[in-house]
Amino acid sequence: MSGKVVYDFPSGENLRGFFKKIKKLIPILILLLLIAIFSLDSFYTIKEQEQAVVITFGKAKTVKDAGLHLKIPLIQKVEKVDTTIKGFPIGYDEYTNETVESEAVMITRDFNFVNVDFFVEYKVADPVKFLYASSDPVTILKNIAQSNIRTIVGSFDVDSVITDGKYEIQSKIKEAIIENLMEHDIGLMLINITIQDSEPPTSEVMEAFKSVETAKQGKETAINNANKYRNEKLPQAKAEVDKILQQAESTKAKRINEAEAAVARFNEMYKEYKKYPLVTKERMFYEAMEDILPSLKVIIDSGDGNINKFLPLGPIMEGGSANE
């Protein structure tokens, strides 16, 4: 038995009536939708460990009370901030627990390497500053912590870092970080910082450290040898300089005395010359000859270039013979 499906379409008048009813309902539906939207955007809830920052025309206000709160739709914006205590590691990966050498390896006061792991605990103290004072306040806190950790660990010897100096190191680092956070004013509060572990570095780092120590000792040896050489040579050089200066002073005094004596003799001779010019000239001539003639030799040449005799005047002046 076969059947036919019969469709009963509404007539034209029924369709027009249906659409008239829909047109009347559209404004009511729009109104209900707007009421629903405004109702949903007019309330917000704050949990126990949260604070809200309400921004109204660019002005931020903190809301701390937990519960349901009212806000102006489309005008006020709400940012929620988690105020629970949070933390991050320095020196190791908190998921794999593997050492991060770039953060963990440090140099102590006595020039030793050491691996130190820290855990930093913090919370949001000012939600407005946390959201708007910097782009990444947690990263800033981590950088501040790392900087102070390296500075303070570097002021202790390796034994203190590994054994009995941990509490003092933690205390000093905490004080330094709190002071820096107050200066930066990024809305975060340091709760605590603790040393998780401290131990000597890996064998690779130890080898590098030994190389550094060897170079350091070589440098000190070279400096000591240079200082020793300087200490040996410097007194000798100073003594030589003193000797040369003394000789120069002595020669200077001698030359001055000789020059003064020569001037005095000249002045005396000049006085005598002014009194008795002729007699003084003759006396000076004879005195000069007495000094010169003993050292003179007379050479007699026959005229053909051959030397015949040497005639020293010394013996003659003494009354002797030239052939003696």
pLDDT digits (tens, 9 = 90+) for 61-107: 888 888 888 887 778 888 899 999 999 999 999 899 898 988 999 99
Distance of alpha carbon 207 from the chain centroid: 26
DSSP one-letter code for 49: T
Write down the pLDDT at residue 34: 62
- Per-residue pLDDT tens digits for 267-305: 887 787 777 788 777 777 877 787 777 776 666 666 666
Question: Which domains does the chain possess?
Answer: 12-81 (no CATH), 85-201 (3.30.479.30), 277-317 (no CATH)
| Residue 8 pLDDT | 52
41/283: higher pLDDT = 283
* The pLDDT of residue 40: 62
pLDDT of residue 324: 43
pLDDT of residue 152: 95
**Given this model, what pLDDT does residue 81 score?**
93
The whole-model pTM stands at: 0.55
Q: Do 62 and 52 touch, CB atoms closer than 8 A?
A: yes
- State how far the Cα of 272 lies from the Cα of 284, in Å rounded to an integer: 11
pLDDT surpasses 50 at 323: no
Q: Rounded to whole angstroms, what are the CA distances from 288 to 127, 264, 281, 282, 294?
A: 116, 19, 10, 10, 11
Which pLDDT belongs to residue 322? 43
Is residue 149 very low, low, confident or very high in pLDDT (cuts 50, 70, 90)?
very high
| Average pLDDT estimate for 208-222 | 78
Q: What is the pLDDT of residue 205?
A: 61
Q: 């917000």: which residue's tokens? A: 44
Q: Find out whether 62 and 53 touch, Cβ atoms under 8 Å.
A: yes
Q: Are 104 and 117 in contact (CB under 8 A)?
A: yes
pLDDT of residue 319: 53
Rounded mean pLDDT of 145-168? 92
Residue 22 reports pLDDT greater than 80: no
- Predicted confidence at residue 199, as pLDDT, reads 84
Residue 306 CA, chain-centre distance (Å), reads: 92
Q: Tokens representing 82?
A: 């988690």
**What values do phi and psi take at 302, rounded to 5?**
-75, -10
**pLDDT at residue 23 in the model:** 67
DSSP class of residue 48 equals T
Closest CA to 81 of 123, 23, 32: 123
The residues that bridge with 52 in the sheet, in sequence order, are: 63, 80
**112 or 153: whose pLDDT is higher?**
153
